[in-house]
Structure 1
């Protein structure tokens, strides 16, 4: 156990041996289809939930509830594989989910603001398989419960983005929490991802600016290789958001709309859309210009646009541009406040 120096103190976390948690009862065998939307983001999302109180049996409660919820969310107990067509697919091996209990030598107060990304803290509080070298070897789900000296605990979850987007990922965690509290699951997952299969023959009707390859005039690639990646958190509270909206509205007519995503679909129901402009335009023109560019891109998104995009991706297999690209993803409507496992909401 290596000590981590944080906020003037030394934190060590003792992780016990992982236990492979299986679904409590029988689940389907075979292979589980992943759509083209699932193919695009094969990495692990890591989230730390902090709870202000717990009990001595918190680890056992969460482990038993995980076994129950995996009956509904059974693909998470499988393994990533490659299909005969060269696509990612889930093999329903029932390998199980690595579940780890851990103990920290300090109070949770030493963590400070866990909303600020800190890779060293994340590695202490979320389990990753040290033997996994490729995507195919990486668990689709891991869970770690860490108890602190103060009686509080954290739940660290690593989950494959190829299996879930933000909404379905939160549905899983909140269903797990409901079972831990002895409540019925209200968001039973819908598993038929073949609804998002590309069409035969493909019907491509739009250009897709998010795949335009931008010339690396600033030599961004070498900057990433030379300089360390720095994580920053910029907090926009309700007052600042209201002030920004007021500024945009003062410059012209603009509407702030809402989106709807299918409820309980287990998988990625999110696509990217893009607006192309220069950095100079963004800096020199009023904020309304940026708002309008985003709105125009979002307004393209209807079912036909998405179907056409999936056909485009499956036909040409284009990479997303990694140069000169700013990605904006809103998590404001994700139900983090409902992840109560019996000891209150996370903080």
Structure 2
């Protein structure tokens, strides 16, 4: 287990939790087995993924208990999303299925003697107190036979509350979970049916009848750990990891764009920032020049015409197209080199690529994406977690609680002291590497820390 440290100063408060309870669907639901797709069923997403939302009090909701309102709405929403109330089981040849038992999701009601305003910058990732606001109920974090969702609603003394959720990632991605939470919000506001009905249809993203890997998938190459990477892994486990977030607004992006040639100026901010962070992080790792480094971008498949995914589809619908380079070439080349690789990476995503991924899962035993010198980026700025309304309005912040060891997220909804809007990027690294990473940012004219706050 990593000892994750945040830069926020300690704040003293007490959280009192009630006993966990199961929330089943409020009406009877079908009891059947539903196979997960071959995109759901890959080892790299067999984990529980936490998110958190902070809400101020609202005058129109005075006297109403957010825990009770949300608990009732969850039961109603689960009638439509009834597989979430079941349990994942393992079928023949290790294939994952959902046993729709209707047992329910795990719910924890809590109170904390603190206000949203007192939490201050602790509400932005990395969330310093996630263990308090999303208690890991013993025995609840397994992939098989455990509740698929853990939710904690923590009432605050200001009349606001915190909604924290942990999702079994094999069931949904962030966009899929947002569809469910929007339905919970609609039920809390009095709706009897969702405005968008959920769609299962996981067979759309299954392997073909004659599976064949037709594309190059650097993200799933099973690499032997080199001596350097083994030493790095041991260092990660034995020493404290530092968890910090970095803000990139118009000013920072303007400085970065000065480093790229004219013919690449039309590249998106995502491509520019991603190539910059990949290069800076690789320089900070201080690797042997011949080490191969990778960059994997989580690309959403929804809206791709050829795939024709239904709008209500709430399963995992993304892939990890990956760029690869020798560390020495990436670090010594101008930023345009990394940017060309990132731009080329995004063009890979088409119907054939995702079908090739599904076939690879079937043929290669559902491999884990490689973590050897890989940097995974996921843009969650448009996911919509900042728009979930249970009756108290939109959250002050809604999104991931922070980074994972080789994964970072682009989180929207923040602005700096000048009022400029930008993205927050949480990074998790061992202390010496984090210091080199920050020094690399500084050498590129980007100074930290920057005073930032949620966009109210």
Cα distance between partner residues in 1 of 2:66 and 2:258: 46
How has the CA–CA distance of structure 1 residues 45 and 242 changed in structure 2, closer, same or farther, with 3 Å as cutoff? farther
How has the CA–CA distance of structure 1 residues 295 and 8 changed in structure 2, closer, same or farther, with 3 Å as cutoff? closer
The structure where strand makes up a greater share of residues is 2
Structure 2 counterpart SS, 1:190: coil
Match status 1:283 vs 2:283: no
Cα distance between partner residues in 1 of 2:393 and 2:261: 39
Q: What's 2:48 paired with?
A: 44
Cα distance between partner residues in 2 of 1:254 and 1:192: 38
Match status 1:236 vs 2:238: no
Q: What's 1:333 paired with?
A: 382
Match of 1:135 among 143, 157, 160: 143
Contact 1:38 1:163 in 2 (8 A): yes
Cα distance between partner residues in 1 of 2:171 and 2:72: 22
Q: What's 1:3 paired with?
A: none
Structure 2 counterpart SS, 1:327: strand
Contact 1:7 1:112 in 2 (8 A): no
Q: Cα distance, 1:7 vs. partner?
A: 3.6
Q: Cα distance, 1:8 vs. partner?
A: 4.5
Contact 1:20 1:97 in 2 (8 A): yes
Q: What's 2:195 paired with?
A: 186
5+ long unaligned stretches in structure 2: 1-7, 272-298, 303-308, 397-456
Q: What's 2:312 paired with?
A: 264
| TM-score between both structures, scaled by the size of structure 1 | 0.91
Cα distance between partner residues in 2 of 1:329 and 1:133: 23
Aligned positions of 1:117-266 closer than 5 A = 117-118=126-127, 121-132=129-140, 134-183=142-191, 185-212=194-221, 213=223, 215-218=225-228, 219-241=231-253, 243-245=255-257, 247-248=259-260, 250=262, 252=264, 254-256=266-268, 261=302, 262=309, 263-266=311-314
Structure 2 counterpart SS, 1:186: coil
Contact 1:49 1:154 in 2 (8 A): yes
Q: What's 1:315 paired with?
A: 363
Match status 1:69 vs 2:77: yes
Q: Cα distance, 1:290 vs. partner?
A: 1.5
Q: Cα distance, 1:57 vs. partner?
A: 2.0
Structure 2 counterpart SS, 1:101: strand
Cα distance between partner residues in 2 of 1:21 and 1:93: 12
Cα distance between partner residues in 2 of 1:246 and 1:175: 44
Structure 1 counterpart SS, 2:39: helix
Q: What's 2:344 paired with?
A: 296
Moved more, 285-294 or 188-197: 285-294
Deviations, residues 263-311 of structure 1 (Å, cap 9, x unaligned) = 3211001011111102322222222222211121121111111101211
How has the CA–CA distance of structure 1 residues 249 and 62 changed in structure 2, closer, same or farther, with 3 Å as cutoff? farther
How has the CA–CA distance of structure 1 residues 107 and 338 changed in structure 2, closer, same or farther, with 3 Å as cutoff? closer
Cα distance between partner residues in 2 of 1:321 and 1:313: 14
Structure 1 counterpart SS, 2:36: coil
How has the CA–CA distance of structure 1 residues 191 and 15 changed in structure 2, closer, same or farther, with 3 Å as cutoff? same
Structure 1 counterpart SS, 2:72: helix
Q: Cα distance, 1:227 vs. partner?
A: 1.5
Structure 2 counterpart SS, 1:45: strand
Aligned Cα RMSD in Å? Answer: 2.3
Q: What's 2:30 paired with?
A: 28
Structure 1 counterpart SS, 2:22: strand
Moved more, 314-323 or 86-95: 314-323
Moved more, 120-129 or 170-179: 120-129
Contact 1:76 1:140 in 2 (8 A): yes
Contact 1:12 1:104 in 2 (8 A): yes
Contact 1:251 1:288 in 2 (8 A): no
| TM-score between both structures, scaled by the size of structure 2 | 0.70
